[in-house]
Chains A and B, each alone.
Chain A
Amino acid sequence: MDEQRIDRRSFLQRGGKAAGFAAVAVAGGFLLREESRQPFHRGGDKPLVRDLGIPGIERKLVAVRGEDPSRMTAAALDAFGGIGGFIASGDFVVIKPNVGWDRRPEQAANTNPDVVAEIVRQCIAAGAGHVLVTDVTCNDAKRCFNRSGIAAAARDAGAEVQLAEDARFREVNIGGAMLGRQLVYDAYLEADKFINVPIAKHHSLTKATLGMKNLYGILGGNRSRLHQDIHNSLADLANFLRPTLVIMDAYRILLRNGPQGGSLADVEDRKTLLACTDPVALDAYAGELFFSLTAEDMKWVGLAESRGLGSADLTGMKIEELTV
């Protein structure tokens, strides 16, 4: 039988080709092999803490009363020796007002826009590299930022206004008693300085939305679960993100039907603005001043204090009261 025999050259060529692809397949298989994709098999990462406070800064609370929110804000910052003590040249500053709801300024559900604008102006004057005003709103973001007046005020003052974008949430382990892994808006992970600018208003569950409650708005995802243990959740948030400064708007406060309100009958003029370097002290002070809440009512304050995030003891603290 006259068999057709293959010559040496093509034997090597064809065999080598097959062996080469086989080697790639085997190597690739081992290289890509993984035991498990489950996060619980891979071990946790360390909880992240973003402490943006100024080390060694004086613990002080300033309460300003007046008619003009801009001037009140400026006076409060002056009482701290100007914003220069907080903001360094080139800083990425994130300012977080409460822009939770599609409500007008007079309905007192969102932070007063004049307060936000004044803070932006001062940050820019102090040489901040990038001033960002953002919030993860509840209602449609465009409406919230538009009707609260905050979009226009902050932008005119020179800030970048960012409506929360889906793509910008990152899952991070913020540790704590309740929260663990959460979707956090990326600005808070990258900021050099963070100014929390809440408004004081009523809330059915916590009795009041104050400074720490405003941190709710750094989260995405199913954040409504936080209500199941709101006090520990707020302390967890406060532990994760420690502000450079808290400036609380209480020009108008919402007494009922919070946190959204809607009716002017629920709004009271208090024409007050608070600023404080200690988020725990500020909530304790504001809760008592505006809503007559006790330490028993504001369990989150005690929990935050027990984690060393500040002190609710106001007796030893410097409180400066001004009228402008």
Chain B
Amino acid sequence: MAVPEKRFLYLRNVRRISQAFFLLLFLVLLLQTNIDSLDRADTLPRISAPVDFFLEIDPLVAISTVLSTHTLYRNLILAVILIVGTLFLGRFFCGWVCPMGTINHMLAVLKSARMKGRRRLEQNSWKPYQRWKYGILAAMLGSALFGSVQIGLLDPIALLTRSSALVILPGYNTLTQDLYAWSLQPHAGFGDFLLTPVSWVTHALLIRAKAVVFDQTFLILLIFAGILIANRFITRFWCRGLCPLGALLGVMSKTSVLGLEKRATLCTDCNLCALHCQGGDNPKPGDTWHQTECHLCMNCVASCAESGIAFRFFPGQEESTQEVNLTRRAVVASAGAGLLAIPVLRAATHPDRPGDPSLVRPPGSLHEKEFLSRCIRCGECMNVCPNNALHPTLTQAGSEGIWTPMLMPRIGYCEPTCVLCSQVCPTGAIDEITEREKAWVPQAGKEKTEGPPIRIGTAFYDTGRCLPYAMARECIVCEEWCPTTPKSIYFEETEIETRDGEYLYLKRPHVDPELCVGCGACTYACPIKGSPAIYVTAVGETRNPRNRILLKEKNHMPS
């Protein structure tokens, strides 16, 4: 290639450094979404790293939650940085910052027969499918207008966070856990002195002390894998054709003052600029440049030996620049489809009505209707949960609420003093609460909690499975694990006659519905494998005054 010698800090290299930095930052923050401090006995573990950084600078998250809630939660204000930057500079985020873009970029530049020469040049020129993303954006914003945030399904940051936290990290964790367990095994008398250093290495590779599983994540994996594999056919197909954040930034980039200046007189028609174009925006002099598609990756400038193109502030030849060529009709139709989809979905499951009884939301969650107007399904709450208690729904919250968090106490219970999910939730679907507000356990030096607890559900016995009821055996593990003070599980001492005619005294447990907070520790610890003998449903949850059984509940928050 006739590329002249360039300084190392040429723009394309600076872009590469920036991409590597932000991808690494994304990974570090993902791993930091976890408590690891053992230092302070007097304080509760808190997440100290700004783990929501990428979600919080994401203007799509900010704008869609503003449309659905008319407010901007906490740090989502950071999105204005990116909005202002894009209004002046264009889609630099896509080419320089976005970790999803960087992953797609890395896969798209892999060489293959399909991605060479004329075929590469052809598929790197602007194509009509690049308009799809604007339709997706319009539909998503339409849903948000109706009060349902669906943007998280396809917002690249939410999608990448979810896919990494629920599929990639757990997969890595399983691999390293197995390796570590293998290196710790006694290997028949030999190799201990060899395997001990090996176990140091395998231990260093661990990211969690325990196995982590997530229910129903196959679909998440399939979508993520599809997006990555698409790069083998079309360079950054996701970024060009589907990404709604790219579309939003594309629309904003229309005011950008940074543009491509083409000098047709210098062009030798070598096509190198178009061959390496990431955005599919036709950088070659003579072709119509699509500013809204350009990621500012600087490949075109770097590959031009003749300096026939350059990025300039207030560039000269603006007549060669193409607007987003969308018809008003298409945009209105897409937005309308998104808007109408929500009432159609709500004809099946409406957030005003209690839906699936097993849909126990994390503590601090807003009323279901408001919850769905905020939750972007990023999976941060599930990633941070120390007990692996939160899992993505599939159907439990209706199709509208797919991949929103729910408690699965058979896998993990809600840790009584933990409020981490409410801390990391970027949009306030789980409103930030303190341990004192959660009020499941008395504060330091106190005999009682200071107010009524934040309840997430109520436990019920299945006496057909519970040992002291059904099998004439001692148990009451549930009572042992019940964290409230006093315990929500009490028992009556009952004399029972066994099959052999002997008389036994057994403790038969009961739930006090005025004390139970729905944490699910009883379900988690219940020794009855298969279906547990005690299970939790959402009834009694603080967030929904209509989802109640008892006429008067003395230990309830005013609603």
Looking across the interface, which residue of chain B has its beta carbon closest to that of A261? B485
Give the shortest distance, in Å, between A224 (CB) and chain B (any CB): 4
**Binding-face segment, A41-49, A85-93, A140-148, A309-317:** A140-148
A227 touching B475, Cβ below 8 Å: yes
Instruction: Check if A146 sits within 8 Å of B181, measured CB to CB.
Output: no
- In the bound assembly, the distance between CA atoms of A183 and B446 in angstroms comes to 38
Asked if A167 lies at the interface with its beta carbon under 8 angstroms from chain B, I say yes
Q: Which residues of A contact B484 (CB under 8 A)?
A: 262
Contact across chains for B480 and A149 when beta carbons are under 8 A apart? no
Residue of A145, A146, A257 near B486 (CB, 8 A) is A257
Chain A 152-167, CB-CB to B under 8 Å as 1, else 0, gives 1001000001011111
Tell me how far the C-beta of B32 lies from the nearest C-beta in chain A, rounded to whole angstroms.
14
A117 at the interface (CB under 8 A from B): no
What 1/0 mask marks residues of chain A from 254 to 274 whose CB sits below 8 Å from any chain B CB? Answer: 000101111111100000000
User: Is A288 close to B, CB under 8 A?
Assistant: no
A residues near B475, Cβ cutoff 8 Å? 227-228
Q: Does B343 have its Cβ within 8 Å of any Cβ on chain A?
A: no
User: Which of B41, B177, B386, B487 contacts A152 (CB under 8 A)?
Assistant: B41
Contact present for A140 and B41 (CB under 8 Å): no
The interface residues of chain B lying within 8 Å CB-to-CB of A139 are 415-416
B417 to chain A: closest residue by CB: A102
Shortest distance between the CB of B137 and any CB in chain A (Å): 40
Query: Which A residues from 161 to 175 make CB contacts under 8 A with B?
Result: 161, 163-168, 170
The docked-state distance in angstroms from the alpha carbon of A41 to that of B240 is 60
As a 0/1 sequence over residues 470 to 511 of chain B, the CB contacts with chain A under 8 angstroms (1 = contact) are 000111110111111111000100000000000000010000
Interface size on B, residues (CB 8 A): 52
Chain B proximity mask over A197-213: 1 for CB below 8 Å, otherwise 0:
00000011100000000
- Indicate if the CB atoms of A145 and B38 lie closer than 8 Å: yes
Q: Do A205 and B527 have beta carbons less than 8 Å apart?
A: no
B387 within 8 A of A: yes
In the complex, what residue of chain B is closest to A222 when comparing beta carbons? Answer: B527
Tell me if A161 and B38 are in contact (CB < 8 A). Answer: yes
- A interface size (C-beta, 8 A): 46
Once the chains bind, are A264 and B483 in contact (CB under 8 Å)?
A: no
Contact of A140 among B184, B386, B444 (CB under 8 A): B386
Give min CB distance, A50 to chain B, whole Å. 15
Q: Is the CB of B181 within 8 A of A166?
A: yes
Cβ of B39 within 8 Å of any chain A Cβ, yes or no, is yes
- Interface CB pairs A-B, < 8 A, 12: A142-B37, A142-B45, A143-B417, A152-B40, A165-B206, A165-B209, A170-B185, A204-B476, A227-B475, A227-B527, A262-B441, A263-B485
New A-B contacts (13) at CB < 8 Å, excluding given A222-B529, A264-B445: A138-B481, A151-B41, A163-B209, A164-B209, A165-B210, A204-B491, A205-B480, A224-B525, A224-B526, A259-B480, A262-B441, A262-B485, A263-B486
Which residues does B use to contact A, with CB under 8 Å? 35-41, 44-45, 177, 180-181, 184-185, 206, 209-211, 386-387, 415-418, 441-442, 444-448, 467, 473-477, 479-487, 491, 507, 525-527, 529
Give residues in A with beta carbon < 8 Å to B: 102, 104, 106, 113, 138-143, 145-149, 151-152, 155, 161, 163-168, 170, 186, 203-205, 222, 224-225, 227-230, 257, 259-266
